[in-house]
Structure 1
Amino acid sequence: MKRMTGRLLMWAFLLTAAALLLLPIGLAVLGSLKTNQELTAGTAILPQAWQFDNYGYTWKEAKFSVYVWNSVIYSVGATLTTLAVCALAAYAAARKTFPGRKLMLAVYSAMMFIHMGVLTLKPAYQLMVELGLHKSVFGLIIMMTGAGGTTFFILYAFIRGISRDLDEAAMIDGAGSFYIFSRIILPLCTPALGVVALFAFRGAWNNYILPLVFTMSQPDLQPLTVGLANIRYGFGGAVQSHLMLAGACISMIPMLLIYVLANKSFVQMNVGALKG
């Protein structure tokens, strides 16, 4: 009886939490299928007439397809560069010995608790201007590369958990550092790489201030976060909340797919942590 009561309470809690999490998404979907007048009035939860044309209008007329495509390019590019930079840095810190290594790790971990925010925005933009990349897709991808403390230490801790005996066995066979890194360490770090890729993609996909500054003079390079804000007042100066909600619902689809695909990596990371 006690076990059944505990299970009922657990399921009640989980269902309540799921309902609270899904409620805003459901309201956004329903709001995107209303007219602007009906949404502003807020008289009913369900639409009086389902306006599926809002999605087509947002996708074509509001050029949301361009914004989504730009976001995909930025997010995929930033994810790949983040994986490359963080994996190499974590491997060097976990497997190599060099002067100042402990100091570097201490400073890097301390910087995790300090959010620089917009303080680094002007120097970063000036650097891209000097390099001639301030109006380039590659410049924004470089700036979105998230080599932060969280992603670095996830890979660093995972690599440290891999036995050094594998490295020594490969060295006896004549393998070099790059071979060990690419053929032994990276395949074993697949769960950690999946989690880091998810964090990097999410950070680049939801980034707003940085793309706004870099693409202010080039609307064709704007990602969906900037384009979504433009949709709201982009037609005759009137607030277009229904189109904005339609765009927001479209922008949620890639992130939901990424979370579904990366769920296995989270499970493997948790299992590895419990075993450790």
Structure 2
Amino acid sequence: MAEKKPALQAAKWITRPIMWLFLLITVLLTLFPILMTILGSLKTGAEMMSGGDLLPKEWQFRNYMEAWQQTNFARFTWNSVFLSVISTVGTLLVAAMAAYVVDRRDFPGKTLYVGVQASTMFISVGAIVLRPQFDLMVKLNLNSSLWGVILILISAHSSTFFILQGFYKSIPRELDEAAMVDGSGFIRTFFKIILPLLTPGLGVAGLFAFRHAWNEYILPLVFTMTSPHLQTLTVGLANLRYGSSAAMQIHLMMAGACLSILPMLVVYILANKTFIQVTAGSVKG
């Protein structure tokens, strides 16, 4: 035993610096694109096109004002917030109910249902389903509305379903049985007892759902072609690529990108505690 202790200590002295070096490199690789975007947003268009130095020669803070004015930023921000919040709430509600039934009940086709949910996570058909989705929304008269995009985003809830299912496994079934004994029905038990205990899981899943909706580009682009006033930030920022004189405006795109990141940072800060608890749903069960 005495001989093993020096060997273990030596191994720790070797592995610990390697681990910290790996983490440092990961952090640098993650933060470098963000830093480049921030610095690029403070340069002139000529500096961006020429490559130039890392730091701006003159700090162009007015780029943010120009980006805000050229893209009707306030309107597009409201559209993105509306789309993201409604789709996130709908996704959490649908996925939470589906995961609860799958975890607590046995029914014909349960294995098939879970298999279909899993297949939608690992098989990305992308633009192949865009035309059928659009045709469906045309029949529902939602092809020129953000509600069509919201319904499609809510239907893609498989990842949220599995996240919440993992959290359900950490909630004792005895609570359901005790509620049933007291005369509480299945639906009332879910909303009054189980759902409040699922708050950490809802925070984690909601964070991912909000991020997905906020960054969505193709669906809002297709569904707002005839209604430019309904465009989201991702679509509006793409319109900053060229100015009125057909000149590239990469510096304004970067300024707009920096502004669009702010709401996501707020959401991450608010959901920080529940985001850390994602392990609670993945360890148990």
Do both share a fold (TM > 0.5)?
yes
TM-score interval (norm. to shorter): over 0.9
For the structure 1 residues 158 and 260, does the alpha-carbon distance in structure 2 shift closer, same or farther, using more than 3 Å as the test? same
From 82, 86, 95, the equivalent of 1:73 is: 82
The answer to whether residue 38 in structure 2 is matched with residue 29 in structure 1 is: yes
Letter in 2 for 1:89: A
Is 1:167 the counterpart of 2:181 in the alignment?
no
Paired residues of 1:86 and 1:147 also in contact (CA < 8 A)? no
Letter in 2 for 1:208: Y
Decide whether the 8 Å contact of 2:149 with 2:220 is kept in 1. yes
Q: Which one is further off, 79-88 or 103-112?
A: 103-112
Asked if 1:257 corresponds to 2:266, the answer is: yes
Equivalent position to 2:215, from 181, 206, 231: 206
Q: Give percent identity, aligned residues only.
A: 52
* 1:269 aligned partner, one-letter code: V
Partner in structure 2 of residue 233 of structure 1:
242
Is the aligned partner of 1:195 residue 2:204?
A: yes
Call closer, same or farther: CA 1:274–1:62 in 2, change over 3 Å.
Answer: closer
Partner of 1:145, secondary structure, is helix
Match of 2:150 in 1: 141
Partner SS for 1:132? coil
Q: Deviations over 1:154-173 (max 9, x none)?
A: 11222133221110101111
Which residue is 1:155 aligned to?
Answer: 164
SS of alignment partner, residue 271 of structure 2: helix
Deviation at 1:275, TM superposition (A): 6.0
Q: Give the structure 1 partner of residue 3 of structure 2.
A: none
- In the superposition, the TM-score normalised over structure 2's length comes to 0.90
Query: Which residue matches 2:108?
Result: 99
Q: What is the Cα deviation at residue 127 of structure 1? A: 1.5
CA deviation profile, 1:207-235 (whole Å, cap 9, x unmatched): 11111110011111011111111111243
TM-score of the superposed pair, with normalisation by structure 1: 0.93
CA distance change for structure 1 residues 90 and 158 in 2, over 3 Å: closer, same or farther?
same
Structure 1 Cα separation of the partners of residues 133 and 15 of structure 2: 54
Structure 1 segments unaligned to the other structure (5+ residues) = none
Unaligned segments of structure 2, at least 5 residues: 1-8
In the other structure, the counterpart of 2:5 is none
Are 1:53 and 2:77 counterparts?
no
